[in-house]
Amino acid sequence: MQVQPRLLHSAKEKAAVKSWLILAMCFAYLIYFFSSSYYFQIFLTVLSIVVFFTSLTSAKPAPRVLGFIMMLVGVILNFIKGSGVEGTMDGILSNLPLLTLVILVPLISIPFKIGGFFHSVHYFLEILAQDSRKMFGSITVFLFCMGPILNIGSIRVLHEMIQDLKLRSILLAKAYLVGFSTVILWSPYFASVAMVLYYLDLSVTEYLPYGLTLAFIQLLVGNGLFQIWYRNHKEEANSKSDQEATNPKQIDIHQNKIHRKKMMKLFLIVVGLFCSIFLIEHLTKWPMLVLVSLTSLLFPLLWGLFQREWGEMRYYFGLFRDFSVPTMNNEIVMFIGAGVFGKALVGTTIADGIQVFLNQVAGTSFMLFIYTVLLILLVFTFIGLHQIVVVTVLLTQFDPVALGTTPQVLALLLMVGWSMSAVLSPVNPLNLLVSSSVNEPSLAVGMKWNGVYLFSMFVIGSLFIYFLH
């Protein structure tokens, strides 16, 4: 009778050890960034390999197989090229800055949870729920602002706040994907932007004006398309299932004033986080990946220091360690595997062939080059490859000078492709999260309900990039 409790206890211990190993890898990378010791590099590589194979057994089948194949092929290519151990070490550590960011970023949400800011967000969304157009706009703006901080978890947090409002699935699916797809275009806190800027050696201040401008345009276009759709489907947008209609929320002036102050404070904190990041980057010239990772650690610590809420801080950190970190198996396997494969591919016949092909296309027509890159991303991600793999291969072959353009243009091109593929691909984490939240098939959520928005993004994004070029 005591076998089952013993097994459960053993499983919990293994999960705890694994979580600490993953966190140790992240902390070790941050130490390595400032020390750059060769012996510490060896230690960090060994630790990363241990984390990779520990996560490999728990990853989903597709990432597990693909991650292992990329790692194996990358190691073989390195030895064939003669770079051997050194090349493999470089590959293992190449995407570690990005992986550290992805793992640590959820820590930023802890102060917002402790401070009760999400309760104020729910208060105003409940008032706006009576008007589908205002609700759609509010959801997309919330994701546009909070998505950079909370990453894909912003959708989960928001859905938990508004699921009691019984909104239509099609409204939620459109709003979630429109709102978050704009985040992918510009946010330095998001993996897509951080990874591309890292590989192209761009500072966020060099890229932000382009990415943020296009993100604003797409946010406006997405809301405009919903207004058109709403006029043609008014009954479908507003209807609710039987016995689910709610009375309009009565506005309490005193409560309204309290929540407005809370929302203003939330806005100032978010703006302060971004401004401090940009200022520190300008002063130190440190990579954005490192700065965001350090912010993810320091912001909750400073909040706990000044607010003296260490008990709640420990509670939420425990949840993060026990439930958030152990779920990063797919990301760990894909990022490390893609790093080894992408680095090993450089200088091979395959890489030279890809580079020659892209240069020839760009030489023929830059608009054709834009379409080619976007279609490569859309096709390969639709059949199951993660953007990390496709973008890593493309980035290692891109030469802005040879292509006759600038790093900013190439960065924006990859961001548009990443954003579109995240919405379209039925196996992408964003699409899967939204489809599971609204209980609808992923193909319907991405292609059927957001097909017009994707087409608009393809056209507007291509024209925007072409004119920048």
Q: pLDDT tens digit string along 244-259?
A: 444 555 566 777 888 8
DSSP letter for 420, please. H
Packed helices 204-232 and 407-424: angle between N→C axes, nearest 10 degrees: 40
What SS3 state is found at 335? helix
Q: For residue 303, how many other CB atoms are within 10 A of its CB?
A: 19
Per-residue pLDDT for 13 more than 80? no
Question: Which residues have C-beta within 8 Å of that of residue 93, sequence separation ≥ 6?
Answer: 29, 41, 44, 45, 48, 339
Give pTM, 2 decimals.
Answer: 0.78
Percent of the chain whose pLDDT exceeds 70: 92
Packed helices 132-150 and 169-186: angle between N→C axes, nearest 10 degrees: 40
pLDDT value of residue 248:
55
Task: Provide mean pLDDT across the span 167-171.
Answer: 88
Q: What tokens were used for 188?
A: 């330095």
Tell me, what amino acid is at 349?
A: T
Packed helices 153-162 and 132-150: angle between N→C axes, nearest 10 degrees: 140
Q: For residue 15, how many other CB atoms are within 10 A of its CB?
A: 16
Q: Among 441, 456, 420, 418, which Cα is nearest to 199's?
A: 418
CB 164 within 8 A of CB 155: no
pLDDT value of residue 458:
95
Mean pLDDT of the chain: 84
pLDDT tier for residue 83 given thresholds of 50, 70 and 90: confident
Distance CA 121, CA 125 (A): 6
Q: Among 133, 125, 110, 127, which Cα is nearest to 161's?
A: 125
pLDDT value of residue 416:
95
Q: Among 352, 2, 422, which Cα is nearest to 193's?
A: 422
DSSP string covering 25-46: HHHHHHHHHHH--HHHHHHHHH
pLDDT value of residue 177:
93
Distance CA 264, CA 118 (A): 12
Per-residue pLDDT for 107 more than 90? no
Q: For residue 32, how many other CB atoms are within 10 A of its CB?
A: 18
pLDDT value of residue 244:
45
